Amino acid sequence: MNNFSVELNNVTKFFGRLLVFKNINYSFTSGKVYGITGRNGSGKSTVSRIICGISSASKGKIIYSHNGTEVPREAVYSHVGFVAPYLVLYGEFTALENLSYFAEIRGTEFDEERAKFWLNEFELYKRRNDLLKGFSSGMQQRMKFIFALIHNPDFFILDEPTSNLDVAGKNKVYEIIEKTAREKLIIVASNEESDLELCSEFLNVEEFKAVR
């Protein structure tokens, strides 16, 4: 089993002079599903972006560890699978082209069979050669899951993972989370009760809010 952990040490975030959260100390480890909770605007997405290395914390440190070896922040991208409503894939490319370019930029061989498998799992196989700009918002959300899964990452950050998805799409996501959680680290940031049902531990961002 790949053991991946993320440790937040006194992580604080300001936007200008606005304090979003202060001194978050928390550890995430493989084999569990964690929930990040909090009201709208509490900083769930911000902490998610900081954890996956695409935003910086104003203060504090994040330590990533893969099988006991520290992973530098600039290399975290190769370990993470990220899904969020604000993630945008390339509309001018087809589903398969998107996945092919991502593989090439990641420096990995494009596994077309694996791509077709996930496209089939998310019921997008028939649309594999269609431009993404013609996809509905639900289909684009499904594509984001394929984008997150295709390189077999060690941990997942799912920010509002079921937004725009229909019942079948939601069930597919829950099924994948349940299967993957046995050996990977999964962090779900959401307000949807059904999204959080699979989580065993919770980080409530609102507990780390303080008036400056």
Partner 1 sequence: MKSVGVFKKDWASELRTRYAINALAMFILVTISVILFSVGQETLSGELTGGLLWVVIFFSAMSGLSRGFVSEEERGTTLTLHLIAKPSTIFTGKFLFNLLLVFIMNIVIFFLFLAFFDSFVIENGLIITLAFLFGNIGIAVSSTIIAAIISKANTKGTLYPVLSFPILLPLILILIELTNFAIVGTTLDEAFVDIAILIIYDIIMITASYMLFDFIWND
- Provide the angle, in degrees to the nearest 10, between the axes of the packed helices 167-180 and 137-149: 10
Helices (H), 43-154: 44-51, 95-106, 112-121, 137-149
* Residue 97 binds partner 1, judged by CB under 8 A: yes
The least CB distance from residue 102 to partner 1, in Å, is 5
* Residue 145 binds partner 1, judged by CB under 8 A: no
The least CB distance from residue 75 to partner 1, in Å, is 8
Q: In sequence order, which residues have a C-beta less than 8 Å from that of residue 193 and are 6 or more positions away?
A: none
**Please, is 27 exposed, middle or buried when counting C-beta atoms within 10 Å of its C-beta (0-12, 13-18, 19+)?**
middle
Count of CB atoms within 10 A of residue 110's CB?
15
* Residue 211 binds partner 1, judged by CB under 8 A: no
**Could you tell me how many residues of this chain bind partner 1 (CB under 8 A)?**
27
Count of CB atoms within 10 A of residue 104's CB?
11
Nearer to partner 1, 89 or 188 (CB): 89
Nearer to partner 1, 89 or 187 (CB): 89
* Residue 16 binds partner 1, judged by CB under 8 A: no
- Binding footprint of partner 1 on the chain (CB under 8 A): 52-56, 74-75, 77, 80, 82, 84, 86-93, 97, 101-102, 104-107, 147
